[in-house]
Structure 1
Amino acid sequence: MLVFIFPPDGTQHIVLTPNLAAQCGYSMESDPWGNTRIYSSLLGCYVDNQVSHGIWKLTFYTPEPVSMVLREAEQVGYAAMATSTRLVMRSPYNTAETTSEEVDGVSMEVFRVSAYYKAPHGLGVENLAAACPTGGVLFINNVISWHVPRRMTPLVDGSFEIREMHMGINGRRLDRSQMAARGYTLSATDFHIIIEIPVGSPDGHYKSHAPDYQYHISYIVEPMLEVLWRTTVAHDDTRYKVLFPITTPLIPQALHVQEKLPTITGSCDQNQFYISVKYGSQGNNFKAMVGHQQLTPEMADYQFQENSTHFSLILPYTAKDTTFEVYSLRARVDFFLLHTSNDWVLADLFLSCNFPLTTTKCYPNGTMTATAVKVDSVTDIIPSRLTLKDQSCKPAFSGDRIAYFLFNVASCGTTRTFFDHYMLYENEIALPYNKGASPVGPQQTISCYYVVNETQIVGFGANPRLYEPTAEIGSGQLMVQMRLAQDSSYTLFYQAEDYPVVKYLRQSLYFEVELVESTDPNLELILESCWATLDEDRTSLPSWDIIVDSCENPDDSYVTIFHPVVSDARVLVPSHIKRFSMKMFTFTKDKEVLKDEVKYELCLVIAVFFVFLVQRGTDSINQRQISSGPIVLTSGQTSE
């Protein structure tokens, strides 16, 4: 448990470590039920007191004197504080300046120091001493007997009398009736003050142990003693309080089995997990969890069956509540039996098995298929975002935990390596990353081997043709349109009434060119050239090339990006559509931005027209020029 201290000014919070707690007057205790007690001194650190910083030197007696200034003492773990009426010193146990002494047969940790401080009447010196017992406990006939020296010689000298003597538990004082009800006694002899506590009293608790697999218990209790001594000559009072945690030695116990917990067994075959649960002494009074889901008889997919003594279920390794551990494929199911009221784990099973999943398949026609699974060590991966080396090659289909790729070995960035008797085709499944950068996350390499030293003889026959087939020559028109999309999803487009469209410098523009009113899958739309001008005259100057010979303009620092097109409810023939994006730019002449075409009152703007030359993928080339309409560039800065 972490404990934080918030100083009165509220400017920070401080983590209370054991060393800082001993130095500053704090302590914390917890019992097995989660009850926590935190003690704080009213003269502790970070308490809002009027503190006088007149202490300038401390002398510790070990018994040899060791002097330190205040800062040196604080650096080694001591604390000193003075108020108008109090002088406080603190020390952890077992420091270099504390000593161990025997006082009337009781081991004590003793701390002696003289504090030099500035007082209103001049320099003052106070001699301080503290003595804390570290022993003195006896265990007799199931009774704890705690002995504290009656004459605490480090604290009192000469003749004295005990004016008050009180007992408490966990820092709370008990009266005589409370002590009698619990069987506690507080007495004094010539040499000791004695507190007796029966083992098993309600103010303590038991703790179980199993050394060498043998059952033992110990009993833990924390008594408190308060004493007030008064010297008979000077009538000076010394008030003493000590809280002393006591743990009995291990007590062997006979093991009596009262409750028999349920047990879980499991196995696997090539396709499924098999889990069986045998009830314990409480029957089926528990919650069964498959992964993070509670098991119910209605989960028919898991073939759940039960009777008066057992229940069983069968899970396929691809079930949603299983976990993939490795690609090849190792799967795991986590099964828990929980207490119905407090979710204590009564039994658990972590069943891992290898299953014969073929992640890569190679076909004679040069087609590869690959399956990527989301494993337990990389749970943040979204399978639908995975790609091959060519990042336009995305999964043919995907789910929450799997991505399936289908592609030809001559595509998608597949590499080919020749060896003596075979060819190796390799690709890689990974998350998208920028060119020149390192891949992000894990990569899965997929490979296919093809033998090349085998000759296949294929026979065929052909009859001579009387004439060669010819195609009837015809003519017609194909409609092509270009639209500007509002974003990269290409779902919403600007309409005619939206032009001119206002865009900022370097803001992305998303274009789509489509062959409309045609469903012929043999046609493909090819963008041959694209250039930008300042007005609607396609031949006007200046102009800037966007696409050259169906490729990005190599002279452009903001390279045009082509986007893949896949079939969906709107796109029936992907080859009829081309999509690309580019960054908004300005025309310059003699290193100055041209701004005399379109002027606005508050912004510097330029109208830019995009013109495309479209080429049909047939034996004859039919060229058309189309335009997206004007796009207004704004700098986003107000002009005078």
Structure 2
Amino acid sequence: MDVIFCFGLLFLCFQLCQMNRSYITTDPKGAIETDCRDRYFWVSVDVGFTGHVPRFEAVVENGVQIINEDHASMCGYTLNYLNGLASLRASYFSCHTENKNDSNFLFKLNVVLTDQTGRENKYSLTENCTLLVDWSSKEILCEENYIEVTVARDAPCRSDKHSTPWLPALAFAQRSAISEWQIMFLNQDLQSLDAMSISDARRMGYMLDSTPNRVVFRSAYNQTHSTITEIDGIAVEVIHATVFFRQKWAVVMLDASAACTIAPSSFDGLILHWRTPKVMTPLVQASSRFVSRSIELGVHAQLLDEATRKTMGYLLGEDGQVVHVSVPFGAPGGYRMSLVENNVYKESYKAFPCYEHIYSHVFLDDTEIEIRHRQLRVMETPLVPRIPFTIDETLPREEMFTVYLGSFASDVELIAIKLNENCLSVADAIQQHYFITKIPHINGTHGFIVKVPFEDKSVNKVYLGEGLLQYSVEINYTLNIIKRNDTFFHNVSVVADVNDAFPPDVSAFCTAQSIIFRINHPKQAGLWEVCVGHQALTSDLSRQEGYILQNDSQSMTLEVPLYTSGYIYENITLRNFVGSFEILIRDSKTLEIHKRTTKHCYFQSEELTVCSTDGLMTVVATTSKTWPTVPPNSTTLLDRSCRPKATDETRVIFSFGVDTCGTRLLFGDGYIVYENEVISDGGVIIDQDSAITRESKFRLTVRCFYALDSVKKVFTSRLFEGRGFGSVKITDAAGVNG
């Protein structure tokens, strides 16, 4: 009796179908995406806007079949949920799929989404996928959750007569074959057999089906009839299965055996490694020649061309009979996942490589059978601490801190910053014109750049002298892992020195009645304050004190009229005196004085009252305002023993303590007032021109005003914290006698 051995391999290829990717129009948010790919149909659902994992349903004749984990592994579906994306991979030979001649496949599915209110919304998907790459005689697919084997039914298949382990299987099939299909499992010793009907196999969790041209066998991992063995030191799960039935006078036997590498990947801190045997010896008959046709690698069940694969960092190599796959941490196509433990940011990484080996059995008569063997793996690292790092990219000439913080997985967001003691959400910070930019990287990570102007109110400034100004800011970042609500913090302090932060240049010159100062605007305008005494020079102070203040783009001009507050009067004589005015440049925060500019000018003496801090009043007065004039040397103060310090033809000068010479003490609104009078009783004066006799009297009131809060001792030594200001008033003019 002739025996036909048919071998086939189901392996999901990784080339995209020519059918364009489509979005379901019934989904108003565009959350559902579908795609026909080589040997499987793909559905992806973005559940970010609801937060609920969707439910997938297969539409069947009498209703729907919910695709859960158990149903998925038996019926050729793979479910995944990662980083807010739920996906479904459906084999072209999956249950409930309409098959037309093994080349066109119609999928009818429902995606059930739960909205924020808890209401379920069902979206129907109908997609027709066309096969692009012809099936091999046998295809083996090692999916994440199941093993699938498809074998061509009508391919001319042959084997060598004494191949092992087929001799025991052949003998058993010849004895027990009936017209109904059966499946036979070879146990680990390859001698004992366990045969059962298709219905019995399905009750045990196996799936056996027939398509127009192929036979499909599917099993979950770790089933009763599978065994674990080592090939080249690598753990492999093997299942020896043969489908057989009697067809007329022949026994048809189809080999549905499969082997899948189950050894986990390893991680060296930088790269994930996975090893698989190049030759799965349980699948290769000893008497046949093995010819390797191609070995390729891809990601997410799609193969990549060599150039793209290398650009992505996926490495494929051989060491004798072992194939090595290497994937760097964070390589494109994988997923980085984050969590926080004790404020320590940690990451793990998952990669989804797709490994395909196409090889042939060449028999003694030079016939051959092509086998396509594809393995889809999940490679995952342990949690790796990822301490964030900062790069200070500040350029002092830009007058702005520029700080990079990185790098983070895609599920990490920056939600707030704290600049010294100024706390801001990212939205508020951007609204207040801080610069916060997310910087994406080619490996899928990202970082953040924060820019803070030197002159921002949150920045500390310290003048170190010699033109050296130091800016500093402490930035506290608040970060969050999206959808986990795990927050963590990172602090950094940055410092920048500016070497041209000298106090502003000040120049001054004298006029007949004032002193004028010109202050150049410094580069660090916010660092310095111009002061008169202990008060900052402002527009309000200028109006209050009678100064004239003007600003332009280059400088500030301050004109200080004579006798306004802040003057110091020295070297007072009958003809002139020295008036001095000082302005100060101080640190606007520490109030430390860094520069003093004092201008001394000579002014003519006409009338002058000077009130010093040591309680000395100096008065220069003219007696020529009476008519006829009063002889200056005839004047005194209220105490007539207090006579002028000096006189000339028209002027007198007195200098006396505020508690002498009959000075009166008065109290006003916020002031203490010391008052005296310059008086003269000149007697009878004959006017020669008119021959009229006139009696000339002279009375001049002089006062010194001191603010009450500046008086330290009033009735003892007369000491004052601030200078007073004086006034002169003629209170009585000359009288005329007839």
What TM-score, normalized to structure 2?
0.34
**Structure possessing the higher relative contact order (Cα contacts under 8 Å, 6 or more residues apart):** 2
